[in-house]
Structure formats: structure tokens, C-alpha cells
């Protein structure tokens, strides 16, 4: 059920820095060909910062850690059915020998299976807007209760209800770390009005926190919130207008469940004339750089332990 690229398997065995990447971005998070281009740049960014990238998906019922370019193209082009795969879908996709692009939740599970401690994404899923009527909560936030992986993101996808998502994480005891910030980033925008739990200003401190949490046998995941680079941050009011329009249109069309997030991201991209997609790509590259540094710092702590 698990196939790990030989180079990645060797690195994990030697406790070298490895960064996992989810693959839902390639299949459902961005339009093709930008999706594959972005995934490849993410991998190059991780390598250039001294770590080893490990993009994860399911092919023919096998969890595959470390994808080839042709496998990424297959996910991005969507010429065959690609399941948007979260925790509840994982056994089905494997049992039925399907192809699946992994969400953050499923990628966390696979990363833990492979022995990878750090995962990078753009933004995690969370509590959807209009929760009172739709009662829609992403499996991403629930996975933090179960799976001890450090996830580097630029916060929660801005199309969601960010305050409710943070309340959900707080209720379940999930630590939210701000990287060089005291306030939670708002994905497309550098800042929100919401505080983080803890602030750390260097990757070594985050790696030390990870190690301490594992020593205490606290099995929950860790969310590291890294603000989008300032040059690509979109003013809050501007992006919020686009998001509100997209959410209202999605509600009117009765789009819900797995289809909602891809619809909203695509519609916001249309309304912003590509500005939101470019911001998404730039925050991803920044997150890949930070995730690499955290993985390197963690690997050094593992080396000291020897």
C-alpha cells in the first residue's frame, strides 16, 4: 500500500530533512498547467533550500511518496478520474485501486506512515462560511487531533470562516504557531485580527517545539502559520469582496461538500483576474522555503540525539 521513492526512503532512514507535499493542489486546487508548474517549482524550492521534497498521491491503489513529472501531469490533466482524497476516502481509493490526489488530511496520514515530520501546503481547510446552515467542516482540522505532523501553511484558506476555524483548533488543543508574527495570517493577506498561540522567529525554535511535543507524547499535529510575502499580499477589503461574491454564488447554486472549495477558489481567481492565483503560488513558495528550514533544523536535533 506504500511505495516510497528510493532517494526519499534513503533520506528518511538516515534522518535527513524531508518535506512532504499534498497533491490536491495539482488535481483540484489550481487550473492546469499552472498546477503542475507550481508543484514543480515547490519541489525545486525545497531542494534549493537543502531538503528533499516528497509529493504524495495514490496511483492504482498505492500510496506513492515522491512523484515523477508524468505522474504530476496525470493528476493535473485529469484525463482519468482523480479522487479528491481525504481520510474517509483513503481506504476506498486504495481498495478499489483508484488514483487519488491527497488533501492535507490524507497527506498528513501518508507522511506519518512514511516517517516524514514536516508537510507543506498553501492553506488548510477549516470551517466553511454559513456553518449554521451547511455544517461543513474540513477533515483537515480534525486530522490535527490524530496525526503528529508539523504543517506549514499561510493559515486557513480565506474562502472559509477563519475565526470559527481557529476556535475549532483551540477547542481541540491544536497549537497554532505564528512565524515571525503575533497575528494569524489571512492567506491572501498578511494579517487578520486574530492572535496566534505562540510566536517563533526562527525555524530552530519551531523544530525544538516539535521535539518537545513528541517527547511529551502529545500526538496532535502542529500548525505553523507563515504570512504571504508582503509584495504579493492582497488588501483585505479587496479580496473579501471577491470571496463574498463567490460564496453567495456558490450558495445560490447549492454547491457543497468536496465541490465547494475548488469552485470558490476558481471563482475568486476569475473575479480577481488571476491575482488570487498568483498570490496563492507565491505564498506556497515561501511556505516551502520555511518548511525546508524547519525540516533541516529538526534533522539536526535528530542527529544530536544519536
- 79 in catalytic set: no
CA distance 170 to 238: 29
Comparing C-alpha atoms, which of 44, 11, 211 is closest to residue 114? Answer: 11
Q: List the catalytic residue out of 84, 98, 117, 157.
A: 157
Angstrom distance (rounded) from CA 292 to CA 298: 10
Task: Name the pairing type of β-strands 52-59 and 100-102.
Answer: antiparallel
* CA gap 148, 118 in Å, rounded: 9
Total residues found in the chain within this entry? 306
The active-site residue out of 22, 43, 143, 289 is: 22
Q: To 10 degrees, what angle do helices 260-271 and 275-305 make?
A: 120
112 flagged as catalytic: no
Question: Strand (E) positions, the chain?
Answer: 2-4, 18-21, 52-59, 62-65, 83-85, 100-102, 118-120, 150-153, 176-179, 198-200, 222-225
Catalytic amino acids? 22, 157
Amino acid at each position: 500500500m506504500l511505495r516510497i521513492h528510493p532517494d526519499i526512503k534513503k533520506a528518511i532512514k538516515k534522518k535527513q530533512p524531508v518535506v512532504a507535499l499534498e497533491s490536491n493542489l495539482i488535481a483540484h486546487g489550481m487550473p492546469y498547467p499552472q498546477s503542475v508548474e507550481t508543484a514543480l517549482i515547490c519541489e525545486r524550492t525545497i531542494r534549493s533550500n537543502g531538503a528533499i521534497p516528497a509529493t504524495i498521491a495514490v496511483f492504482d491503489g498505492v500510496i506513492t511518496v515522491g512523484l515523477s513529472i508524468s505522474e504530476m501531469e496525470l493528476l493535473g490533466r485529469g484525463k482519468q478520474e482523480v479522487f479528491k482524497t481525504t481520510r474517509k476516502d483513503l481506504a476506498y481509493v486504495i481498495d478499489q485501486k483508484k488514483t487519488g490526489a491527497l488533501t492535507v488530511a490524507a497527506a498528513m496520514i501518508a507522511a506519518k506512515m512514511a516517517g516524514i515530520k514536516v508537510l507543506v501546503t498553501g492553506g488548510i481547510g477549516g470551517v466553511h462560511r454559513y456553518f449554521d446552515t451547511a455544517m461543513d467542516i474540513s477533515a483537515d482540522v480534525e486530522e490535527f487531533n490524530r496525526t503528529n505532523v508539523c504543517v506549514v501553511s499561510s493559515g486557513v484558506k480565506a474562502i472559509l470562516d477563519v475565526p470559527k476555524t481557529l476556535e475549532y483548533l483551540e477547542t481541540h488543543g491544536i497549537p497554532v504557531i505564528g512565524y515571525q508574527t503575533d497575528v494569524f495570517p489571512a492567506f491572501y493577506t498578511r494579517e487578520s485580527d486574530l492572535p496566534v498561540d505562540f510566536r517563533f522567529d526562527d525555524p530552530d525554535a519551531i523544530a525544538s517545539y516539535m521535539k518537545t511535543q513528541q517527547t511529551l507524547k502529545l500526538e496532535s499535529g502542529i500548525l505553523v502559520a507563515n504570512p504571504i510575502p508582503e509584495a504579493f499580499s492582497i488588501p483585505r477589503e479587496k479580496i473579501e469582496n471577491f470571496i463574498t461574491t463567490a460564496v453567495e454564488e456558490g450558495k445560490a447554486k447549492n454547491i457543497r461538500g468536496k465541490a465547494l472549495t475548488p469552485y470558490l477558489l476558481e471563482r475568486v481567481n476569475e473575479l480577481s483576474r488571476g491575482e488570487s492565483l498568483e498570490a496563492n503560488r507565491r505564498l506556497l513558495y515561501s511556505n516551502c522555503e520555511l518548511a525546508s528550514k524547519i525540516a533541516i533544523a529538526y534533522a539536526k536535533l535528530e542527529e544530536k540525539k544519536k
